[in-house]
Structure formats: C-alpha cells, structure tokens
Chain A
C-alpha cells in the first residue's frame, strides 16, 4: 500500500462519525491504522464495495477482508464552495475495480480531471462518542489526493 499520512489532507468541514455496524467494524479499525480494506467473495472471487457480509454480485455468504493498494482514478466529482475551503465530493474507482464515494483533499478544484490518478490519505473525522460522556475518539476516514 502507498504511504498514507493523516496530515496530507485536512478538511475545513467537520467530518461526521460513521455509524459503525458489526459488519464493517474491521473496515473502520483498519482505517484508523491507515489501511483501506475491501471485501472479496470467496465464491465468485469478485471484490465489492461498500463492504458487506453477503456478496452483492453472487449472493455468496463467505466474504473476506482484503487490503487494497489505495490507488485509483477519479470517476467523477462535484465542487461546493471556493478556494481552500472547497468541499469536493468524488467517486473514485480503485485499481481493484470498485468505485467508492470519497472527498478529494490537498488539491485545487481547478486541477481536477476525471481519470486522474489518486492515492488514499486518511483524514481525521469525528469518532463515536464514548458512553461515559468523555471526548469522542478520532476516526480516520479514507479520502483521496492526486498522486505526485
């Protein structure tokens, strides 16, 4: 996997905590370790996204986690706001063949091109609040930035 640093991208927007279900706990724990995971079906051998227990391609119930390279290309994007505060919504097609929703960070909107090469970075978002009311832990969220 390419080097991924949480400081490569920052976001002016506050990033809400993902709702982490049992089924996807491993994905978010891996993200906190700066690793991007997808799921592969052991029956049809295909990768899918978003990750789930049951393969959406063949209905197979035996799916396994797999780390991906973290590189891909920009499928489409939409820019809201201006300058460094611009919020860039994107769909990114990973080299492994699945497309995921994300944000583009560390890049001027003007420099974006569909098809450009991207790599994953992990950006600090809000975490799940603790039950005792103590401050929430940070959750790292996979985002993408242009490859150098």
Chain B
C-alpha cells in the first residue's frame, strides 16, 4: 500500500507572469517541502497533457530530476487519480520509491475558454461530432436533460450542488467564487447550455497541485499524518458503437473496482471529493459510486446534504471546481489534495469532518456526453 506524504495546491488563481512549467515546478517543490523531501529524492514522475513540451522529459529537465519510472497517462481531468493508482502499483512493483505527480496550467491568464482540445485529425469520431459544435457545456447539458427526462431531476436539485460548494468556499480565502449562493441565485444565472445555468459550471482558473507518493517504509520516517491509498479503479466509457446511454458514467466501473479493493462500502465514506466540472457531473458520480440509488441523486443533494456539518455526505470542502479552483481546466489533483487535508485534519475548521478516517476522490476526464474516463481512489488515515 502506498502513502501520500506530500500534498500542495498552488495559491494562485490567475497566473499572470508565471509560465505553465514554472507552475508545475512550484507545486512540485511545494509538495516535496510538505513531505520533508527534496527533488533529489524523487525517482518517479507523473504528469498528463497539461505539462508542456515533452511532458515527463521537459519537467524532469527543468527540475533536474533523475528518474527510474515515468507515466504520462492522459485521460483528461481524472488523470491525477489514475497517476496516484499507477504510482502505488509502481512502488509495489519495486520500480520506484518516491513518486511525484503534478498538474498545472494557466487558461485564465492565457484568456482561453473552456473548450475541448484542438481537434485531432486522426481521431475518427471527431468527424461525426465537430460539425455539430460540441463543447463541454452542451455535452454535459445533454446528460442533465436526459437525467431530468428519465428520473424527474430538476434544475433546483442541481442548484443545491452549487449551493453546497459555495457554503464551503466561503471559508477558503483563495476561492474564485467565495460568496455563498442560493438555489435562486443559480436558477437566475444565465442559461449557458439549457438546462445548465452559468452557476452550474465550474470556474476557469490557473494554478495547479502536486502529490508525493511513497512506500510504507519511507512514509514511516516522515513526520506527517499517514494517508494511505487502499483502493483504486479506472475505466473509460464511450459511444459504445451507437448504444448510447447517458444515464450512467464509468464511475460505476471505477468505483466498483476501488470499493472492492478497499473492502469498504459507500456508507463507510466520511468525506467525498467529487469531480465538479458541472453540477450534473457530481450528481452522476453520487449515483454511480453508490452513495444513492440510480435516479435518486436529485433528492440526495437537496437541503444541504452535501454541506459539511449539515448533510450526510460532505463533499468538496475547499469549494471544489464549482467555486474554488479548476486549474488547467482539470480538477483531478485538487480532488485528491482536499481529501488528504480532510484525512490529516488540516481542512478549514469550519468544514473539517470530525475524525475523518476514510475519504474518496473521484474524477471524470473528458465529457460525459460523448466519452470520458472515470477514476476513483479510496484513502484511509492510518493512526
């Protein structure tokens, strides 16, 4: 079992004057400092497509890393959760001892909108999609519309997810949207991709985060609370040859793998970091990970059920991508970082889950309306 011994989130939300590589370097050093380790200790490095240039080689060159193991798996925003699992496997296999994972970017300073990556002419499916103008918002909008049709889910219910995130963000001085909002505020915000409102969407922000993962033996010598990965899963879901079903996500598969490996159930989870590119993304994961029955997500999130100290399942207590930070348009690393804060007892006191010992981090990379990769990690605080 591997341990997360270092975690760091970049304080910036608009990185004027900082390059993408400098952001990766900043978070790498931040996480290593958190662990009491140095760049010289790192022998494995993990990054996704947000790293510039040649990825692992470019970052290794900048930081002067000497590596025996690399992994540049890119599946969009869920990649850091996959990296965490792969790091644990590489450590268990004896391929490395100290793994560094970074994610960083500056879409806000660069003035980029939340668009999909430029089309890849070699991706055959895109010819059947790009003429129709797919964007994250309308792809997720179709998921929300279908959920409403099948299960009676309402815009008010989706709004509760933003409301809960905003209740947490008010305690985060770095949050892009620190103001508490109401269901009415969400419903009165412009319809950007009907049925999704502006406040159903995540923020666009700069920054990033990093993790340091190591073996039990090395973790023992590090004077930080012990956070252990006890279960992980990853799975893509796609158009399935035209047998499209938008009512469920690959989190059904990645979650089942993670829970089986960890030997725990959704009812055991005290805190959940759920990918929140849009409110509907959260609702889908709640159902697919088994926190409620399929179709019951709308009822589950109402009345503050996701608010720490009020509801049954505290989620995204940093404010999440919906209110705090969605660096590089990828929310995976911040999901793990806030879960680590909760397990260490280092979340903001107003949102800290008492004696938090079991947490989950879930990511959805890509788009639920077309194709995506889900990743799930279950983390345990060890005494």
Q: Which residues of A contact B241 (CB under 8 A)?
A: 46, 48-49, 55-57, 98
For the complex, give the distance between the alpha carbons of A47 and B130 in Å: 22
Pick from A18, A28, A56, A102: contact of B130, CB below 8 A. A18
Residue of B nearest to A56 (CB): B241
Check A89/B242 contact, CB under 8 A, given A78-B193, A125-B131: no
Contacts of A1 in B (CB 8 A): none
A97 touches B146 (CB 8 A): no
Residues on A with C-beta less than 8 A from B143 are 76
Take A47-B242, A97-B242, A102-B132 as given contacts and tell me if A75 and B146 are in contact as well, using a CB distance cutoff of 8 Å: yes
| Nearest CB of B to A42, in Å | 15
Most buried by A among B131, B193, B194: B131
Contact yes or no, A50 B244, CB < 8 A: no
Alpha-carbon separation in the docked complex, A76 to B142 (Å): 5
Asked whether B124 lies within 8 Å of A21 as measured between CB atoms, the reply is yes
B263 beta carbon closer than 8 Å to chain A = no
Chain B residues with CB under 8 Å of A75's CB are 146, 244, 246
Check: B240 CB closer than 8 A to any chain A CB: yes
The stretch that binds A, out of B109-117, B133-141, B156-164, B340-348, is B133-141
Query: For the complex, what is the distance from the CA of A98 to the CA of B128, rounded to whole Å?
Result: 13
Report if B127 contacts A (CB, 8 A): yes
Which range holds the interface residue count of chain A? Answer: 35 or more
Residues of B in contact, count (CB < 8 Å) = 39
Task: Please name all residues of chain A whose beta carbon is closer than 8 Å to the beta carbon of B243 when the two chains form the complex.
Answer: 98-99
Question: Given A16-B130, A125-B131, is A50 in contact with B146 using a C-beta cutoff of 8 Å?
Answer: no
Chain A, Cβ-Cβ closest to B145: A76
Contacts of B145 in A (CB 8 A): 76-78, 114
Q: Name the interface residues of A55-104: CB closer than 8 Å to any CB of B.
A: 55-57, 75-80, 87, 89-91, 93, 97-103
Q: Do residues A87 and B242 form an inter-chain contact, with CB atoms below 8 A?
A: no
- CB neighbours (8 Å) of B191 from chain A are 79
Q: In chain B, residues 152-195, which have Cβ atoms closer than 8 Å to a Cβ of chain A?
A: 191-195
Contacts of A93 in B (CB 8 A): 244
- Pick the most buried of B125, B128, B144, B241: most chain A CB atoms within 10 A of its CB: B241
CB-contacts of A87-130 with B (<8 A): 87, 89-91, 93, 97-103, 109, 114, 125
Can you report 18 residue pairs joining A to B where beta carbons are below 8 Å apart?
A13-B133, A16-B130, A19-B126, A21-B127, A24-B127, A49-B128, A75-B246, A76-B145, A78-B139, A78-B142, A78-B144, A78-B193, A80-B135, A80-B138, A98-B241, A100-B242, A101-B129, A103-B132
The 3 closest A-B pairs by CB, nearest first: A98-B242, A78-B141, A49-B242
Interface residues of B (CB under 8 A from A): 119, 121, 124-135, 137-139, 141-146, 149, 191-196, 239-244, 246, 369-370
Give me 13 other A-B pairs in contact (C-beta within 8 A), A49-B241, A56-B241 excluded: A38-B242, A77-B145, A78-B142, A78-B145, A80-B135, A80-B193, A89-B132, A98-B242, A99-B243, A100-B128, A101-B132, A101-B134, A101-B370
